[in-house]
Structure 1
Amino acid sequence: MLTVGAKSGMNPTAPRHGPAPWRCKQRKGAHTLPNEDFPLRVDGVTAGWAAERRPEDVIPAARTDAWQLVYVRSGTIEERCDDRRVLLRAGGLLFHQPAETFGMRPVGEVPPDVLRLDFLCTQAGMDRFRGAVFHAEPQEQHDLNWLMDAVTEYFEPPDTLGQATVPKEEQPYGAQQQLTIHLENLLILLARRYKRARKPGVRLRRERRQTALVDAARTYFAKNLERELRVDEVCEAIGCTRPQLQAAFRTRLRHTAMEEFSAMRLDYAAQLLARGDTPGEVAERMGYRSGAYFSQKFKEATGNTPSAYRRLQQGLPARRLNRQQKDKDESKTSIAETPPKK
């Protein structure tokens, strides 16, 4: 008796060539080409550096031969993109395409912390990033922060600003692969967001700019708590105008920039008092015009004088009344208790 295989001239015991029939079923419309399954494959990371730049550090105009990622973790820079000038504040990132002229100039007094990464990627998926400027979201910041820490371990720092970096001779096992994985993951996250909202609405863009301005101003405030600041000085330091700064704080925090700075200074003063510094020491250290002015502002904000707040925080008993104040209070009491004459 012949089997089906034998009847058709096939050896039923011969091994099958290719996938089994039940494994060949494919969802209609599914991708089959490798480039479609991996639309943003990085072919290599060729150079990179991450550092806090001084306000006087300027990268002269140069031409990039690869894709270049630029990310600003803190501070503000002006980035050249051929004939365009783009202002990148904290959280901002962009890509230079191959053969594009780039350059960098720090803006303001806050030293910018910048990542610059050159990489090779010839696939069409990168086309969506040409000319685009992003503000990193928390999930994307995870990969960006990792890349900023990693490039200092994997690449030699440049001898002069703007010079290309070279990989270190000794690198951790799988260093290039790890760099590629984190960079590819970042590109995929950005591409998904870009596809979801290629051009965010005017309101969303304004909210992001205002949030970045508030964050930059509060960072500058935190570094200058021990002296008075002027609004114009803050605007110059973070690269904005006075109306832009005031609008950002009123919209995001419901008060002015200087009100926020005053509150931060008083919070810091409260920490110094709780630590044991005297009101006079705190007033002098923080540059208040006088001890009386400091005491007035502190009481308005906390309901306590600096001396009373200090004693409360240190668990000390309330200050005893001096003899003159005690006699004055007893006199008031005795007058109140004297019965009226008939």
Structure 2
Amino acid sequence: MIEFKAFQLHKAFTISEIMSFYYMEVASSFSFPPQRHDFWEMVYVDKGELQVETAAGMHRLPQGQIIFHEPQEYHVGKAIRNTAPNLVVLTFACDAACLSSLRGKIFQLNPGEREVLACLIREGTRVFNPPIDSPDIRYLERRDPAPFAGEQVICNYLEIFLILLLRRADPLPGEETAQSALPLLTRQDTGLDLINQVIRYLSQHTAERLSVEQLCQLFYTSRSYLMSAFKQRTQHSPMEYFNLLKIDRGKSLIRAGRQSLSQIAEQLSYRDLGSFSRQFKKITGMSPTEYRRLIKS
């Protein structure tokens, strides 16, 4: 009979408390008030730009960068260059000494780190009520019913995300070389490269009117394959996804505050303001006017 010996797994740190968790779509006039608090804070710029001031100086964070504020660190931030940024703000309690490697650090996230952060955000929208991307959120409250073990999943994703950045901040000698020598897992080709190209194209052409037929011609693929592969990748049809991108762009333009709603509708190639308003309300649950009023408040 084979004998087994239990191996005790060591945890470098544990996070069991978060104070706040927001996905914020803010106006171009947005600013954080000066603050200090006795817990960690991380701020990620998903879109736009953010200017952050700490005791160490002034920092400009473009899209894709994240900054960490240690407990009791003075910090203040504001939108810059007339942009209306989308921000992820998460605060958490942890007194583990290893987190000191994040002190004052700014990282440009790589694709793997962004994917873990995206998973963390998606779980946050499912676990809390209102979800973390709701303009109405003030304090975290449990959704009832909530997905099984949702809060544990949030802790796990957050810990994994921090571990990835801690490893980058303090890498082992030769770790990059060792990683490149690892065998790759075999995976089935699901056409992700094509779908990523289509997504990129849609993202860059929100000011136009497009159809599935045009996409098929542009990317030399059949309608049935594009519809199936796109749905598998995004959970949406190509045009549903395109409408989401258009409205997301519209929200950014509203927050920037430099154009009327009619001008925004025209810029996004809607037939008229009414068409834009109907699509906006269908996706967000509120009219463009209500959204603008909410942002200003």
TM-score, length-scaled by structure 1 = 0.45
Q: Offset at 1:43? A: 2.7
Q: Which amino acid aligns with 2:19?
A: T
Q: Offset at 1:220? A: 11
Q: Which amino acid aligns with 1:129?
A: L
Structure-1 residue corresponding to 2:87: 114
1:149 partnered with 2:122: yes
Q: Which amino acid aligns with 1:111?
A: A
Unaligned runs of 5+ in 1: 1-19, 27-31, 199-217, 226-284, 287-342
The whole-number CA distance in structure 1 between the counterparts of 2:32 and 2:78 is 7
Structure-1 residue corresponding to 2:274: none
Unaligned runs of 5+ in 2: 174-200, 209-265, 268-297
Q: Offset at 1:92? A: 0.4
Match of 2:148, SS state, is coil
Structure-1 residue corresponding to 2:17: 44
Q: Offset at 1:195? A: 1.6
Q: Which amino acid aligns with 1:38?
A: K
Q: Offset at 1:118? A: 0.8
Structure-2 residue corresponding to 1:174: 149
Contact 1:40 1:187 in 2 (8 A): no
> Would you say how many aligned residue pairs link Structure 1 and Structure 2?
178
1:184 partnered with 2:159: yes
Residues 15-67 of structure 1 show CA distances to partners (whole Å, capped at 9, x for unaligned) of: xxxxx8x949x9xxxxx8x7xx2113213222110122110111111222211
The whole-number CA distance in structure 1 between the counterparts of 2:112 and 2:159 is 14
Structure-2 residue corresponding to 1:133: 106
Contact 1:155 1:165 in 2 (8 A): no
Match of 1:114, SS state, is strand
Q: Which amino acid aligns with 2:154?
A: L
**RMSD across aligned C-alpha pairs, in angstroms?**
3.7
Selected match of 2:139 from 153, 165, 168:
165
Selected match of 2:29 from 29, 32, 56:
56
Contact 1:66 1:98 in 2 (8 A): yes
Residues 194-228 of structure 1 show CA distances to partners (whole Å, capped at 9, x for unaligned) of: 12299xxxxxxxxxxxxxxxxxxx99986779xxx
Q: Offset at 1:164? A: 6.0
Decide whether aligned partners of structure 1 residues 63 and 90 sit closer, same or farther in structure 2, where only a CA change above 3 A counts: same
Determine what percentage of the aligned residue pairs are the same residue. Answer: 22
Decide whether aligned partners of structure 1 residues 98 and 219 sit closer, same or farther in structure 2, where only a CA change above 3 A counts: farther
Larger Rg: 1
Contact 1:70 1:115 in 2 (8 A): yes
Structure-2 residue corresponding to 1:101: 74
Match of 2:123, SS state, is helix
The whole-number CA distance in structure 2 between the counterparts of 1:155 and 1:94 is 26
Decide whether aligned partners of structure 1 residues 221 and 82 sit closer, same or farther in structure 2, where only a CA change above 3 A counts: farther
1:195 partnered with 2:167: no
Decide whether aligned partners of structure 1 residues 155 and 100 sit closer, same or farther in structure 2, where only a CA change above 3 A counts: farther
Match of 1:59, SS state, is coil
Q: Which has the higher contact order (CA 8 A, sep 6+)?
A: 2
Contact 1:44 1:119 in 2 (8 A): yes
The whole-number CA distance in structure 1 between the counterparts of 2:156 and 2:57 is 31
Match of 1:61, SS state, is coil
Structure-2 residue corresponding to 1:324: none
Contact 2:123 2:153 in 1 (8 A): no
The whole-number CA distance in structure 1 between the counterparts of 2:116 and 2:99 is 18
Q: Offset at 1:179? A: 0.8
Match of 1:166, SS state, is coil
Q: Offset at 1:146? A: 2.1
Structure-2 residue corresponding to 1:240: none
- Taking the TM superposition and a 5 Å limit, the aligned residue runs for 1:239-318 are none
